[in-house]
Amino acid sequence: MAFRSGFVCILGRPNAGKSTLLNALVGEKLAIISPKPQTTRNRILGIIHSEKQKGRSASQIVLIDTPGVHKPDSSLGRKMMVEVQEALQGCDIVLLIVDGSRQFTPSDQFVLEMAKRCRTPVFLLLNKTDLLKGKKQELLGTIDGYRRRFDFREIIPLSARKREGLDLLVHKLIENLPEGPHYFSDDQITDQPTRFMAAEAIREQILIHTEQEIPYSSTVVVEQFEELPKLTRVAATIYCERNSQKGILVGKGGQMLKKIGTEARMQIQKMVGMKVFLELFVKVQPGWQDSRQFVDELDWRRQLENLAGKPDRTKGREA
Ligand code: GDP
Ligand code: MG
């Protein structure tokens, strides 16, 4: 049987469980997770490699996790939606993921329209079925409602958090992928540079430990990432928008920054497999979310492009 491969875009509203699904399918923490909107701000590649098995071809599924679909009101929001559009371009299958425990709303219709416009097969994933135990009728009703709205290639109820329903999903993905090349080497599971994942690990701790507008007003830039023989040195700056936010991020006697730093350091240590020395700074950059230039500079793909002086090859494929 031929080798099958392709690009699969995970699309959905904020909080549907896209990043949880990516991590569960790849079996590694590639994307940060939180119940707060804007947790995912970039598209994130995760690669599933599978060997030839009984009745199954060997395959490579390139998943693309995306920011939640929303109406943007800042440069950052617009950039996030561009990330979604770029992920959809040229993908082979769209996974439209919804929170199966919630009612259909106009926002769901908006995302559904985006999926339809791709003209690729669309799988509907009804996530969070763990919240629907004993409510089978409700789930069947939701499935029925969706079925009337669009001719989905597959409708699969699952729980990304409990890892239920994933085998069936992978099976159906492989079945629907075309014959294709190895897009990535067999040991590669993401395209994200480690230093960007380190920045995300710090941002995840900000999402966990701060409230209100602070998670949305913050971003993290890794200024130094030096891998020494026995130690990785990381220096990063947390940007926020106001002095009052800086006060909260630093905390009384530096307590908050210490907490964020300690937990992020442990995460980064897991990632690099060695001791990490992490230095964190907090800076105020008023209105950064509305600065197109600042937002563009945060994009690691663009940073790499500028360094290499050539176009981004992860954006799509040559026909
Ligand atoms: P995203 O914004 O679509 O990427 O969503 P995340 O993956 O960040 O998840 C949003 C929230 O939903 C987090 O609190 C997750 O733990 C939670 N979540 C994701 N999948 C499931 C699931 O299958 N069941 C339940 N109960 N919660 C889930
Ligand atoms: Mg996400």
pLDDT in tens, 266-299: 999 999 999 999 999 999 999 999 999 999 999 9
CATH of the domain at 255: 3.30.300.20
Task: Identify the pLDDT of residue 114.
Answer: 97
Q: What percent of the chain has pLDDT over 70?
A: 95
- Closest atom of ligand 1 to 160 CA is 23
Task: Identify the pLDDT of residue 310.
Answer: 58
Q: Which ligand is nearest to the CA of 44?
A: 2
CATH of the domain at 96: 3.40.50.300
Let me know whether 64 and 135 are in one domain: yes
- Smallest CA-to-CA distance from 59 within 122, 1, 121 is with 1
Domain assignment of residue 10, given as a range:
4-176
Rounded CA gap, 105 and 16, in Å? 13
The residues placing their C-beta within 5 Å of ligand 2, an ion, are: 18-19, 39-40
Q: Kindly report the protein residue whose alpha carbon is nearest to atom 10 of ligand 1.
A: 15
Report whether residue 205 contacts ligand 1, using a CB cutoff of 6 Å.
no
Residue 157's identity, in one-letter code, is P
Say whether pLDDT at 51 is over 70: yes
Let me know whether 101 and 220 are in one domain: no
Task: Identify the pLDDT of residue 319.
Answer: 37
Task: Identify the pLDDT of residue 313.
Answer: 46
Let me know whether 157 and 200 are in one domain: no
Let me know whether 135 and 220 are in one domain: no
Let me know whether 160 and 206 are in one domain: no
202 CA → ligand 2 middle, Å: 15
Measure CA of the first residue to CA of the last residue in the chain; give whole Å: 23
Report whether residue 23 contacts ligand 1, using a CB cutoff of 6 Å.
no
Number of domains in the chain: 2
Strand ordering across the sheet containing 154-157: 44-50, 59-65, 4-11, 93-99, 122-127, 154-157
Rounded CA gap, 186 and 140, in Å? 39
Let me know whether 155 and 125 are in one domain: yes
What pairs with residue 53 in β-bridges?
56
pLDDT in tens, 158-189: 999 999 999 999 999 999 999 999 999 999 99
- Smallest CA-to-CA distance from 87 within 63, 110, 108 is with 63
Report whether residue 18 contacts ligand 1, using a CB cutoff of 6 Å.
yes
Is 182 part of a structural domain of the chain? Answer: no
Task: Identify the pLDDT of residue 105.
Answer: 94
Let me know whether 298 and 208 are in one domain: yes
Task: Identify the pLDDT of residue 318.
Answer: 42
Q: What count of other Cβ atoms lies within 10 Å of the Cβ of residue 174?
A: 21
Say whether pLDDT at 305 is over 90: no
* pLDDT band at residue 89 using 50, 70 and 90 as cut-offs: very high
Task: Identify the pLDDT of residue 309.
Answer: 74
HSE, side-chain direction, 13 A CA sphere, residue 219: 22
Report whether residue 67 contacts ligand 1, using a CB cutoff of 6 Å.
no
Is 83 part of a structural domain of the chain? Answer: yes
Q: What would the mean pLDDT of 195-221 be, rounded to a whole number?
A: 96
Is 184 part of a structural domain of the chain? Answer: no
Report whether residue 33 contacts ligand 1, using a CB cutoff of 6 Å.
yes
Let me know whether 90 and 118 are in one domain: yes
Domain boundary among 113, 146, 176: 176
Q: What would the mean pLDDT of 256-269 be, rounded to a whole number?
A: 98
Q: Are strands 219-227 and 231-240 parallel, antiparallel or unpaired?
A: antiparallel
Say whether pLDDT at 314 is over 60: no
Instruction: Give the chain's mean pLDDT.
Output: 94
Say whether pLDDT at 82 is over 80: yes
* pLDDT band at residue 55 using 50, 70 and 90 as cut-offs: low
Say whether pLDDT at 258 is over 70: yes
Q: Kindly report the protein residue whose alpha carbon is nearest to atom 25 of ligand 1.
A: 128
Say whether pLDDT at 304 is over 90: no
The two three-digit tokens of residue 287, written as one number: 């209105």
Dihedral angle at the C-alpha atoms of 310, 78, 195, 88, nearest 10 degrees?
-70
* pLDDT band at residue 311 using 50, 70 and 90 as cut-offs: low
